[in-house]
Structure 1
Amino acid sequence: MPSSSLNSSATSIQNYPAKSTKLQICEAFKSPHVILISVAQFATASNIYSLAYFTPTIVNTFGYSPTDTQLFSVPPFVISFIYMLALSYWSDRRQSRGIASGLSAALSIIGFAMFYASGNDHVRYGSLFLSIPGAYGVTPSLAAWTADNSEPHMRKATALALGGMVANSGGLFSVWIFTLGHKPRYSLPTAINIFLAVMIIGCCILNTMWLSHAQKKKVTNRLEILHSFGIRDPIDLFNHEKDEPQGNPSEEDLIIYARSWDHLGDQHPDFKYIY
């Protein structure tokens, strides 16, 4: 938006001052989609850290020497790296965060289920090529999902920091997961991993439903929301594709419109949520 338009009416700016940092922080903590993704990040980090810490211990139960244990622990993580890059690229191209996270969590469930059900060491080792990429693949899409649907920048920064804090709490929890089980099956820890992966899918489904509902509600009440800020003609006031005003709006309307974005952020009716 042109700087001349933003600076032309001091009165309008005083009537709609920018929200304080504290209020934007509170908005992040109150946002349902931020809360749901934070819960999913706790579960994701719990699975990731438990695998990162205990994969060598698991591989060692297959009868390998200490040196071979370290060697055979590497391939699942190499596949995980390639898978994570490919999934992140697909997620960006499609702008589809929920599906990417949910499918990745489902892949980890298949791997955990194979490990839980089979007594064959070859099958159990092969299951790591599903559970590890699946667990790690959830993280990039969840983090991007948080950033995509959080505005303005203060609210976005808070949401991302909250997700990181909750995820690290999951990492602390994961330390004790595999200490609850016994060699070589680790039945209880694996069951916990499955439960956490199911929780991730549940959060993705709920978050998609919430975002869809919130988006429809914003669009339906668009005129009412923008009129509450004193915008006289909110229809087609600003062309977001060209990043310029349209329809000859007044300078005051442009200033108030900018302030409405600062106040509402991702709750603004012209902000489109990404599912």
Structure 2
Amino acid sequence: DIFLYSFSTFLPSILRNGLGYSKMETQYLSIPVYLLVGISFFIAAKVGDKYALRGTVLFIANIFAVFGYAILLTVKVSSVEYFACFLIALTLYNGLGVNETWILNNTAPHYRRATFLGISQSVGNVAGVV
């Protein structure tokens, strides 16, 4: 969750300082990133659940991060860096959601599942403090 918190917090800073957009443009440019993530999260959840391919979906989601961070670190063209933010966001949101669902569906009985979910969310939310 620490990656998720840091990305959500610093995406406007990346767009403004790193890519040189104004405050208003920064806010507008962050909307498509989250819109794509919302749509892709729904698709990943449906595919992972319907075909029982959560591990495959998780693996594919993590591949996007490798390319996103590589692009963000090596290419210094603002439009390409903006595209890299899309790739990174796909991994952060889809990877965490699919991973948690996968683990919860493989944890039995119900009291272990509930305990795991509580601990997982607590540890994840502490990451926001960091």
Count how many residue pairs are aligned between Structure 1 and Structure 2: 129
Identical aligned pairs, as a percentage? 26
Determine the C-alpha separation between the residues in 2 that align with 1:163 and 1:74. Answer: 28
Determine the C-alpha separation between the residues in 2 that align with 1:92 and 1:135. Answer: 19
Query: Of residues 111, 120, 124 in structure 2, which corresponds to 1:163?
Result: 120
Determine the C-alpha separation between the residues in 1 that align with 2:51 and 2:119. Answer: 26
Q: TM-score, normalised by structure 1?
A: 0.45
Q: Give the root-mean-square deviation of aligned CA atoms.
A: 1.3
Determine the C-alpha separation between the residues in 1 that align with 2:63 and 2:3. Answer: 13
What CA deviation, in whole Å up to 9, does each residue of 1:11-62 have, x standing for no partner?
A: xxxxxxxxxxxxxxxxxxxxxxxxxxxxxxxxxx122111100000000021
Q: TM-score, normalised by structure 2?
A: 0.92
Task: Return the index of the structure with the highest Cα Rg.
Answer: 1
Determine the C-alpha separation between the residues in 2 that align with 1:120 and 1:105. Answer: 23
Determine the C-alpha separation between the residues in 1 that align with 2:49 and 2:88. Answer: 23
Structure 1 gaps of 5+ residues are: 1-44, 174-275
Cα drift, residue 160 of structure 1: 1.1
Which residue does 2:11 correspond to in 1? 55
Query: Of residues 113, 118, 136 in structure 1, which corresponds to 2:93?
Result: 136
Structure 2 gaps of 5+ residues are: none
Secondary structure at the counterpart of residue 124 of structure 1: helix
Retained in 2: the 8 A contact 1:146–1:160? no
Secondary structure at the counterpart of residue 172 of structure 1: coil
Determine the C-alpha separation between the residues in 1 that align with 2:124 and 2:62. Answer: 16
What CA deviation, in whole Å up to 9, does each residue of 1:110-148 have, x standing for no partner?
A: 111110111111111111111111211112211211221
- Please identify which structure carries the higher helix content: 2
Structure 2 letter corresponding to 1:73 = S
Q: Which runs of 4+ in 1 moved over 2 A?
A: 169-173
Report 1:35-114 matches (<5 A): 45-61=1-17, 62-114=19-71
Determine the C-alpha separation between the residues in 2 that align with 1:172 and 1:102. Answer: 28
Determine the C-alpha separation between the residues in 2 that align with 1:79 and 1:167. Answer: 23
